[in-house]
Chain A
Amino acid sequence: MNLNYEHLPVIIVALLLLAAFLEPIVYRHKKSWAAPLVIASMAFFALSSLYLMAAVNYHGPFNYYLGGWAPPFGIELEIDYLAVFLLLTFSVIGLIAIVYGLQDLKHGLKDEVLGWYFTLYLLLMASMAGISVTNDLFNMYVFVEISAISACAIISIKESRECIEASLKYLILSTLGSGCILLATAMLYMITGHLNIGYLNDVLPRVMSHYPNNILISLGFFVVGYGVKAALFPLHVWLPDAHTAAPSPSSAVLSGLVIKVYAAAFLKVFLKAYPREIFLEIPVMEIVLFLSVLAILYGSIVAMVQEDIKKMLAYSSIAQIGYVFLGFSLMGQRAVAGGLLHIFNHAMMKSMLFLAAGIIIYSTGIRRIRDMKGLGVKLPLTMGAFTIGALSMVGIPGTNGFISKWQLALGALDLGRPIIVVVILLSSLLNCLYYMPIVINAFFGVKGEPELEIGKVPGVMLYSILFLGFGIIFFGIYPAPLLAFLQKTVTAIL
């Protein structure tokens, strides 16, 4: 028996699945063990991701053959720098969100569905881990489906009719996306005979001249498929409703992680499976770039006119996913690193903002931005954390939002596209216009009408957002190790 760290990625996925399968039985027979089980699995996920990151950083990337079958025959997991980076992001934010959620969900969900919520949450995490590590297109499709269903389900679990409607809309659109992904996979399999990403990369240049249309169509369908799921600008229509209606921990995870995992899958497919010369002939990345610029501007502008705080945050997510795609579609070293860094940073800031909004809703019941005047006195720590998040969204130096925007701007300048820098600056200005009034009103606004009833905020909820706020500042001041790691990541990809 030799269990070394190479088994760890598959153990992560399998143990999360195992915990998810056990959860309904445990919840039915031994209710008090359900929450510790989910926390323990997520903690294991986080710790082993950390260990895996250290191991990969030290020993270099490695591959894992499931069932012992080498790539063209079996499924291969590729644990490279990108995969461990994603794993770490998902596990840490996921752990914090569920620790927070234990309190919030007891209050927001019916007792009998809480066990199912844990199950779905673990399934979502397992599928995201699977998408990060797999190196096989069809396997990725299967995991994408798991995460699509479970992401819809953690919205519809809340007892309100808006949730069902938002969830159905999300489900229909994301199934449309899955259909497109499957068709694109079929197109690639038809002309290459492989599903492994590495083999596709080898074979595609040879068949490119014989079947150009297949490649074109597959590119188009991949963009649409992953674009729908990641809420790239014109395909984002499901996002505001879904992220607004969901319970707060779900919103944090959906906005912070789930749309990012599809962006990462997009990166994997486009930069690892397709050879680079295809993008010289087919300007698909230019289109994605154009769409992401539109996304940044559109999301920021629409967020300004929202009244509901969660809806505002949701629209802001559309803008932020635009940054991620902006970085990827520029295809320069520093730009892709900036996009990846923004996945991590935005996961932290947006989860924190959603969780802070959750605390506000939990303790006061306020959802409208206008009613938040004077809230800074009542909930100083929450609003303080919110302020850190807002500053980071705007991109004030000293917060991590600044670092990723700076990287993206430098990456754009490397490739001689100063117009992108203008877009980033403009969007920061717009962010400032809608985040700052909330902060200013909360601390300096005149206390309005009748006194607010402030419920007690559970400590766990507060500590989790403070922890994230600390992370934002920490990675804003000391980003060097992360940047060095990402430098390695993009060197391996490009």
Chain B
Amino acid sequence: MEVNSLTAMAILVLASYIFFYLPASRLRGVLVLIMLGIIGYALVATVAEMPTFGASANPPHNEVYQRYLHQAVEDTGAINAIAAIITDYRAFDTLGEVTVLFTAIAAALSNLKAH
């Protein structure tokens, strides 16, 4: 399936413009459907081209994957490879994640208390 995603992208950009300026109406509904249809077509065309689902030769199963499985126990001492990743290999992400939770608390509390 040939697809020019750039048209889809341009329409996505224009779409958001229209959504926020057109009042809710039937016309807006139709326009939204048409635009989402085009975006959906582009995405479906991408799905048809993606690496096969579940194949062990897919690009993500590369040396990084091998290292995480074969050396995680030796590197981190954790049997659960996911725990090894979130708290050791990529612990900075987890710090960010904890911070997101804290930000949500701070944001929600400040908003609830301010009014």
Contact = CB atoms under 8 A, between A and B. Distances in A.
The reply to whether chain A is a binding partner of chain B is yes
Interface of A: 14, 17, 20-21, 24, 66-67, 69, 72-75, 109-110, 112-113, 116-117, 119-120, 123, 126-127, 130, 138-139, 142-143, 145-146, 149-150, 152-153, 156-159, 164, 167, 173, 187, 189-194, 207, 211-214, 216-217, 219-220, 223-224, 227-228, 234-235, 237, 282-284, 287, 291
A142 B64 contact: no
A142 B97 contact: yes
Residue of A109, A157, A220, A284 contacting most chain B CB atoms (<10 Å)? A220
Chain B interface mostly? helix
A113 B113 contact: yes
Contacts of A120: 103, 106-107, 110
A17 B66 CA distance: 33
B17 to A, nearest CB: 4
Interface in B76-107: 88-93, 95-97, 99-100, 102-104, 106-107
A149 B107 contact: yes
Contact of A73 (B12, B68, B92, B104): B68
Contacts of A159: 114-115
Contact of A193 (B62, B110, B115): B62
Interface in B1-60: 3, 5-6, 8-10, 12-14, 16-17, 20-21, 42-43, 45-46, 49-51, 58-60
Nearest to A291: B13
Nearest to A147: B103
A216 B93 contact: no
Contact of B5 (A164, A193, A220): A220
A190 B60 CA distance: 6
Given A157-B110, A213-B46, A220 B102 contact: no
B67 A213 contact: no
Nearest to A228: B16
A365 B96 CA distance: 40
Contacts of B107: 120, 149-150, 152-153, 156
B61 A193 contact: yes
Given A139-B93, A190-B59, A237-B17, A150 B5 contact: no
Contact of A217 (B42, B51, B113): B42
Chain A interface mostly? helix
Contacts of B104: 149
Contacts of A214: 46, 49-50
A237 B22 CA distance: 12
Residue of B13, B59, B103 contacting most chain A CB atoms (<10 Å)? B103
Nearest to A199: B64
> What 7 A-B pairs have minimum CB-CB distances, sorted nearest first?
A220-B9, A153-B107, A116-B110, A142-B96, A216-B5, A234-B17, A193-B60
Interface of B: 3, 5-6, 8-10, 12-14, 16-17, 20-21, 42-43, 45-46, 49-51, 58-65, 67-68, 88-93, 95-97, 99-100, 102-104, 106-107, 109-111, 113-115
Residue of A120, A150, A189, A217 contacting most chain B CB atoms (<10 Å)? A217
Given A190-B59, A193-B62, A214-B46, A287 B89 contact: no
Given A120-B107, A193-B64, A213-B3, 12 more contacts: A17-B95, A72-B67, A113-B113, A143-B96, A149-B100, A149-B107, A190-B58, A191-B50, A191-B51, A193-B60, A193-B65, A234-B13
Contact of B93 (A73, A75, A228): A75
Given A139-B93, A143-B96, A153-B106, A211 B50 contact: yes
Nearest to A130: B96
Contacts of A130: 96
A96 B13 CA distance: 35
Nearest to B5: A216
B111 A72 contact: no
A67 B88 contact: yes
A39 B46 CA distance: 49
Nearest to A23: B106
Residue of B8, B67, B110 contacting most chain A CB atoms (<10 Å)? B110
Contacts of B50: 190-191, 211, 214
A21 B68 contact: no
B111 A153 contact: yes
Contacts of B49: 211-214
